[in-house]
């Protein structure tokens, strides 16, 4: 019986019936990992935070707004200044939101 299931599954994959949902799941995973657009409003080195006006954060299912974020690496604070356009990734770390990736848009 197991071989029959494997043959049916292989036939479905070959006909494209299984591949489409897998491709959609992969695309959704990529969207969750994608960087979001934002603008640095404030750099607070003492508190280890950035204030970012951002668009939608798909991986957090959060609409665009302006908010404070901790940074996962304090060196990020030296790379940006108020007014910089950035692409970044925010994640929940220990119950708080933190920027885990940051790049300045030139």
What pLDDT, in 10s, does the model give residues 69-83?
A: 999 999 999 999 999
Rounded CA Rg of the chain: 20
The 10 Å Cβ neighbour count of residue 65 is 11
For the chain, the structural domain boundaries read 2-32, 35-104
What pLDDT, in 10s, does the model give residues 13-34?
A: 555 555 556 555 555 454 446 8
Identify the pLDDT of residue 60: 92
Structure tokens at 50: 């950035």
Domain 35-104 grouped into CATH 2.40.50.320: yes
What pLDDT, in 10s, does the model give residues 85-106?
A: 999 999 998 889 999 999 999 8
């Amino acid at each position: 019986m197991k071989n029959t299931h494997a043959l049916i599954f292989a036939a479905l994959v070959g006909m494209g019936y299984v591949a489409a949902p897998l491709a959609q799941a992969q695309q959704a995973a990529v969207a969750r990992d994608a960087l979001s657009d934002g603008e640095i409003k404030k750099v607070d080195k003492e508190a280890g935070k950035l204030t970012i006006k951002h668009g939608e954060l798909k991986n957090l299912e959060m609409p665009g707004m302006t908010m404070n974020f901790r940074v996962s690496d304090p060196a990020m604070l030296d790379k940006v200044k108020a007014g910089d356009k950035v692409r970044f990734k925010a994640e929940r770390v220990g119950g708080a939101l933190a920027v885990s990736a940051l790049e300045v848009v030139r």
